[in-house]
Amino acid sequence: MKRLSLIAGIAVLSAGIASAEDVMPAKVMFDDGAINASLTGMTGNPEEGAKIFMNRKLGNCLACHMNADMEEQPFHGEVGPALDGVGDRWSEAELRGIVSNSKEMFPDTIMPSFYRDTGFTRSLEKFEGKSILSAQQVEDVVAYLLTLKES
Amino acid sequence: MRTLLASVGIAALALSGAASAGEDAVLSVDGEVFVTEAAAPDHLENVDTIYSGWVFRTDETQELQLDDFDNPSFIFLDQALDTWETVDGSEGKSCASCHDDVEDFAGLKSTLPRVENGELVTLTNLVNECRTERMGAEAWKYSGADMSAMTALIAHQSRGMAMSVAIDGDAAPFFEKGKELYYTRVGQLDMACANCHEDNYGNMIRADHLSQGQTNGFPLYRLKNAKINTTHGRFKGCMSNIRATPFKEGSPEFKALELYVASRGNGLSVETPAVRN
């Protein structure tokens, strides 16, 4: 029993599923499109963030954004602006807001809201009531974006 | 290297009039030139020029449509031609028992869907009506292999004709409903058809070059699944990609959307059977 729960605990961690300390999507406070406090209470991991950024099933940010830092990856999209230097253009709080719910910053944007779990129409059942990314994953992506500096 | 390729292309054109693909390429098959770019129909509010999806494909994919011998669709059209003459159902009839020649259907695809007795009907509906009411045969599955091939064969008879679906009169409520669906954001990714096909055509979305999502080439062959794909099948795919629960193929929603999307392409040539990736 002990072993079982340990294994389950590891699975939960690696899938990045919500932990009790996370600010749940409905409780997130926006301040002019920005979110001031970390969603997990901790700083994210930029290396994990880079993986989430390119993963087609997670952030898939590369689908819409060019990113010179990922030159080795094929197929950068052109739907959104290139993200080179984005860590200089926006603060951590603003980046957290943009990734969590870009519509707070850019009202009619095509960019999906990655940390929102309600208010969708006809969501596929398996995504019903879920956000695209977990709080941890959002923090990881934000940490990665902050590494994208001019020059 | 680029210029070299370009001049080779021009030389080939000049010498033999051979087809050559590319961004400004002309779609012509057997000397027949297709309209792949046209002034937007008056009812379109946010777009000035309409383009066929062919324009956005790679040279290699474009080329497959320039010669019917290279176009993989025709295997399926040949199969449909066999089905055309095959008796099925309790009445002992085939399509050929009632229709002289499939060529008589020229002009059908370019004007469908249309309203009949207050109902919006698609080509698929018309084929199934013949099967169930006149042949005493089972209806085919909306996007099944038989139906996809048969509707492609029939739509092919309109190849080269301009899309011109009616949107006024009794079609107006269906047009309005389709339009609303086109602009409604759905799914966990929260996007509408317009976000990709109106606001972003011409842009790359990962490995895909976004087109205007026109339907003038349907039913069409896709390299991705090596079969004939229907309009409703494509709508379903786009909705699943944005993590939305698709409407059912043949549903009132998809039929209205089909009418609306088709009307956005009024003026483009029917290309059926087109080739896409």
Residues A40 and A139: beta-carbon distance below 8 Å: yes
The amino acid occupying position B120 is L
Active site residue B196: no
- Phi then psi dihedrals of residue B256, to 5 deg: -65, -40
Q: Which two tokens stand for residue B268?
A: 């483009």
Residue A151: pLDDT band with limits 50, 70, 90? low
Task: Report ipTM (2 d.p.).
Answer: 0.91
pLDDT value at B49 more than 60 = yes
pLDDT at B26: 93
Residues B258 and B250: beta-carbon distance below 8 Å: no
Q: What is the mean pLDDT of residues B143-164?
A: 98
How near does any CA of chain B get to the CA of A4, in Å? 33
Segment B98-135, tens digit of pLDDT: 998 999 999 999 999 999 999 999 999 999 999 999 99
**What beta strand segments (E) does B82-161 contain?**
114-116, 119-121
| Average predicted confidence (pLDDT) for chain B | 92
Residue A7: pLDDT band with limits 50, 70, 90? very low
Q: What is the mean pLDDT of residues B86-100?
A: 96
How near does any CA of chain B get to the CA of A113, in Å? 7
pLDDT value at B4 more than 80 = no
A127 vs B188, B191, B205: nearest CB: B188
Segment B171-207, tens digit of pLDDT: 999 999 999 999 999 999 999 999 999 999 999 999 9
Q: What is the mean pLDDT of residues A32-52?
A: 97
pLDDT at A21: 86
Which CATH code of 3.30.565.10, 3.60.130.10, 1.10.760.10, 3.60.70.12 fits the domain covering A24-146? 1.10.760.10
- Substitution target in A66, A100, A108, A110 with the highest count of B β-carbons within 10 Å is A110
Residue B2: pLDDT band with limits 50, 70, 90? very low
Residue B148: pLDDT band with limits 50, 70, 90? very high
pLDDT at A14: 45
Contact A110 B206 (CB under 8 A): no
Q: What is the mean pLDDT of residues B218-245?
A: 98
pLDDT value at A15 more than 70 = no
* B273: preceding bond cis by omega (within 30 degrees): yes
Q: What is the pTM of this model?
A: 0.91
User: Is the dihedral angle over the CA atoms B236, B239, B242, B245 positive or is it negative?
Assistant: negative
Contact B187 A121 (CB under 8 A): yes
So where are chain A's domains? 24-146
pLDDT value at A131 more than 80 = yes
pLDDT value at B93 more than 90 = yes
- Phi then psi dihedrals of residue B95, to 5 deg: -55, -40
pLDDT value at A135 more than 90 = yes
Helix (H) or strand (E) holding B252: helix B252-264
pLDDT value at A2 more than 70 = no
Q: Does B195 touch chain A (CB under 8 A)?
A: yes
Chain A CB contacts of B196 below 8 Å: 110
Residues B237 and A124: beta-carbon distance below 8 Å: no
Q: Does B207 touch chain A (CB under 8 A)?
A: yes
pLDDT at B22: 54
pLDDT at B88: 97
pLDDT at B11: 35
A110 vs B187, B199, B240: nearest CB: B199
Determine the Cα–Cα distance for residues B174 and B235; give it in Å rounded to an integer. Answer: 17
Determine the Cα–Cα distance for residues B180 and B178; give it in Å rounded to an integer. Answer: 5
pLDDT at A10: 46
The structural domains of chain B, ordered by start, are 72-277 (1.10.760.10)
Greater confidence (A111 vs B18) lies with A111
| Residue pairs spanning A and B at CB distance below 8 A | 68
pLDDT at B24: 72
Residues B147 and B130: beta-carbon distance below 8 Å: no
Q: Which two tokens stand for residue B266?
A: 């009024």
Q: What is the mean pLDDT of residues B223-241?
A: 98
pLDDT value at B6 more than 60 = no
How near does any CA of chain B get to the CA of A54, in Å? 10
Chain A CB contacts of B188 below 8 Å: 112, 120, 123-124, 127, 130, 132
Tell me the percentage of chain B whose pLDDT exceeds 90: 90
Q: What is the mean pLDDT of residues B83-100?
A: 96
Chain B CB contacts of A113 below 8 Å: 190
Q: Residue B237: exposed, middle, or buried by beta-carbon count in 10 A (0-12, 13-18, 19+)?
A: middle
Tell me the percentage of chain A whose pLDDT exceeds 90: 85
